[in-house]
């Protein structure tokens, strides 16, 4: 059934076991060929010997099968859309875990056609009428899933598949509801893991908001429309220039830096001016400012692009205009739900107007659990590692030096689980004292249960050790002033290290600083 690849490469290790040609999987599905393989699973064309039909067989790769979250997400794909009838959702006919291989699997309709992602690579930007056709069909399916409290959460060109009906007309199918999330009041709803593709991910997904709603999919539709019309995702330049995923997230959370038509024009695509208002509404940072339904968003897109749709559902999705008899003679100004205001007609020699968009606080990550450790007020360990890896990469490219100072409060018999509240309180006291002495201008992150790492600009080869010594002395002095913190002055260890041009990772740099702290204690 399984075949081992004779390869020492990482790709070979990841696909160390694959289903071989003509193997019988789950006693029913005869493997014909591999269609696609990814980090989570592989898709095969298979022959269903029970129904005598060709199917798409999706299995989870052995390398990821141990992750319970991935297994849960994979299993969802089988059942989450089972009660929804739509021409635009791929139907699942069988699912389970194969006893012989312990591989979870799904059996779906075998589609003939092309993903919109590959279509974009082949053709480039698509005509507005074609974009409206594809996204309109996807919106019909989304309205149905949203009505069933199901959010896709990972809409992107690769998850929209264009097939052809018997009459030759195109039919879009939404793929991969395996990352969808049922919006019911359960523990599962409150999971805050980030799921989705950054280029199309709504801000509330970046924030890890457990109550993500249908308007997250509307946000993705807004960015999908821009991608299909311009040939490239709005945030593609930022994604290429960002050294880490978290840097890209910070840019996304600040909102679009320029109107969509300006960015599209730079790529050689001219979009009508009304598209800016539509894009700003559909992809608004605030969910409540986006269209309520997917079909409403596409109906408004038709108006913005000047496209007449033949789809009756989309055509009637726009809310009716207010009656003239009910309209006040002098309507009060209403705040417009968009990021960019419509500019006045340009005058000769006039400069383009500045956006009146309300800026997003650049310290937005302070209130995000993914970034901030709520128990102590320091940045989280995950964010610390990512920030250090990013700084190390920049140091290698530009030669910029920096140092880290490592602060440790040894546990000395404390259990990280049993005594968590006491440990958190001690680290919180250290954070508060450090902020009082050094301010908040530099990055301070938690490392492990009882340590902190401070990232500081470099001022010479001896700077980090001098700063570490001075901070250590000052901290002990402050702790000794109060009876309740006097014990911390006896436990505190402080060490520092400067980034090395050959530094491999954040872990290596932190461990060197930790060893320096241990030596200083001795």
* Domain boundaries, given as residue ranges, for the chain: 2-109, 113-315, 371-521
Q: What is the pLDDT of residue 149?
A: 87
Instruction: Render pLDDT for 188-214 as a digit per residue (tens, 0 to 9).
Output: 333 334 445 789 999 888 876 567 899
Instruction: Render pLDDT for 207-252 as a digit per residue (tens, 0 to 9).
Output: 765 678 999 999 999 999 999 999 999 999 988 887 677 778 888 8
Q: How far is Cα 261 from Cα 337, in angstroms, rounded to an integer?
A: 18
Q: What is the pLDDT of residue 59?
A: 87
Q: What is the pLDDT of residue 350?
A: 43
Lowest mean pLDDT among 36-50, 73-87, 396-410, 474-488: 73-87
Q: Is the pLDDT of residue 337 over 50?
A: no
Q: Per-residue pLDDT averaged across 445-453, rounded?
A: 92
Which letter does DSSP use for residue 335 in this model?
A: -
By annotation, the residues acting in catalysis are 154
Q: What is the pLDDT of residue 313?
A: 66
In the numeric block, the tokens 């250590």 are attached to: 472
Beta strand pairing status for 53-60 and 181-182? unpaired
Instruction: Render pLDDT for 381-415 as a digit per residue (tens, 0 to 9).
Output: 877 887 888 788 777 777 778 889 999 999 888 89
Which residue did the predictor score with more confidence, 456 or 138?
138
Q: How far is Cα 492 from Cα 450, in angstroms, rounded to an integer?
A: 10
In the numeric block, the tokens 């593609």 are attached to: 236
Instruction: Render pLDDT for 131-164 as a digit per residue (tens, 0 to 9).
Output: 999 999 999 999 999 998 889 888 999 999 999 9
Q: What is the pLDDT of residue 346?
A: 42
Q: What is the pLDDT of residue 183?
A: 34
Q: Is the pLDDT of residue 452 over 90?
A: yes
The band of 6, judged by pLDDT with boundaries at 50, 70 and 90, is very low
Annotation: CATH topology of 371-521: Alpha-Beta Plaits (3.30.70)
Q: What is the pLDDT of residue 196?
A: 53
Question: Taking a C-beta distance cutoff of 8 angstroms, is the pair 384, 446 a contact?
Answer: yes
CA angle 318, 296, 210 (to 5 degrees): 145
Q: Is the pLDDT of residue 17 over 80?
A: no
* Axis-axis angle for helices 294-305, 274-282 (nearest 10): 170
CATH of domain 113-315: 1.10.510.10
Whole-number mean pLDDT of the chain?
79
Q: What is the pLDDT of residue 12?
A: 37
Instruction: Render pLDDT for 360-384 as a digit per residue (tens, 0 to 9).
Output: 333 434 444 456 777 888 888 877 8
Q: Element (H or E) spanning 122, and its range?
A: helix 116-123
Same fold for the domain at 113-315 and the one at 371-521? no
In the numeric block, the tokens 């404390």 are attached to: 414
Q: What is the pLDDT of residue 61?
A: 66
Q: What is the pLDDT of residue 146?
A: 92
Annotation: CATH topology of 2-109: Phosphorylase Kinase; domain 1 (3.30.200)
Does pTM top 0.75 for this prediction? no
Nearest of 509, 438, 432 to residue 467 by alpha carbon: 438
Q: Report residue 79: phi and psi, to 5°.
A: -115, -20
| Percent of the chain whose predicted confidence (pLDDT) is above 90 | 39
Q: What is the pLDDT of residue 69?
A: 61
| Percent of the chain whose predicted confidence (pLDDT) is above 70 | 75
Q: Is the pLDDT of residue 327 over 50?
A: no
Q: What is the pLDDT of residue 295?
A: 95
């Amino acid at each position: 059934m399984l075949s081992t690849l004779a390869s020492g490469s990482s790709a070979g290790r990841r696909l160390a076991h694959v289903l071989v040609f003509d193997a019988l999987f789950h006693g029913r599905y005869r493997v014909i060929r591999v269609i696609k393989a990814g980090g989570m699973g592989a898709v095969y064309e298979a022959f269903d010997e029970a129904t005598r039909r060709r199917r798409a067989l999706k299995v989870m790769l052995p390398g990821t099968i141990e992750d319970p979250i991935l297994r849960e997400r994979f299993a969802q794909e089988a059942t989450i859309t089972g009660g929804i009838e739509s021409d635009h959702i791929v139907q699942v006919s069988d699912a389970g875990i194969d006893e012989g291989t312990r591989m979870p699997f799904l059996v779906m309709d075998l589609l003939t056609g092309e993903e919109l992602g590959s279509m974009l690579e082949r053709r480039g930007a698509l005509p507005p009428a074609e974009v409206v056709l594809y996204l309109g069909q996807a919106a019909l399916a989304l309205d149905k899933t949203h009505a069933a409290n199901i959010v896709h959460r990972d809409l992107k060109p690769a998850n929209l598949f264009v097939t052809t009906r018997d009459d030759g007309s195109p039919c879009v199918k939404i793929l991969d509801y395996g990352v969808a999330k049922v919006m019911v009041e359960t523990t599962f709803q409150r999971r805050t893991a980030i799921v989705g593709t950054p280029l199309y991910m709504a801000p509330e997904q970046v924030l890890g908001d457990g109550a993500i709603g249908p308007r997250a999919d509307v946000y993705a539709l807004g960015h999908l429309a821009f991608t299909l019309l311009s040939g490239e995702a709005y945030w593609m330049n930022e994604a290429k220039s960002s050294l880490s995923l978290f840097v890209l997230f910070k840019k996304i959370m600040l909102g679009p830096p320029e109107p969509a038509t300006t960015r599209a024009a730079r790529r050689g695509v001219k979009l009508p001016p009304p598209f800016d208002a539509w894009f700003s509404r559909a992809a608004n940072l605030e969910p409540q400012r986006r269209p309520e339904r997917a079909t409403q968003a596409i109906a408004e897109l038709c108006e913005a692009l000047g496209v007449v749709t033949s789809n009756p559902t989309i055509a009637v999705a726009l809310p009716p205009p207010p009656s003239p008899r009910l309209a006040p003679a002098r309507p009060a100004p209403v705040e417009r739900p968009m990021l960019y205001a419509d500019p006045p007609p340009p005058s000769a020699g006039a400069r383009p107007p500045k956006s009146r968009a309300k800026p997003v606080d650049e310290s937005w990550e302070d209130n995000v659990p993914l970034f901030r450790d709520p128990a102590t007020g320091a940045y989280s360990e995950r964010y610390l590692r990512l920030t250090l890896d990013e700084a190390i990469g920049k140091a290698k490219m530009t030669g910029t030096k920096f140092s880290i100072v490592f602060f440790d409060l040894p546990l000395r018999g404390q259990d990280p689980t049993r005594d968590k509240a006491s440990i958190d309180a001690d680290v919180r006291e250290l954070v508060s004292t450090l902020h009082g002495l050094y301010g908040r201008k530099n990055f301070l992150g938690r490392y492990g249960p009882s340590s902190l790492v401070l990232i500081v600009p470099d001022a010479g080869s001896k700077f980090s050790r001098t700063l570490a010594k001075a901070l250590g002395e000052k901290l002990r002095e402050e702790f000794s002033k109060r009876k309740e913190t006097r014990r911390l002055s006896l436990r505190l260890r402080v060490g520092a290290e400067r980034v090395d041009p050959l530094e491999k990772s954040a872990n290596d740099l932190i461990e060197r600083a930790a060893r320096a702290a241990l030596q200083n204690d001795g």
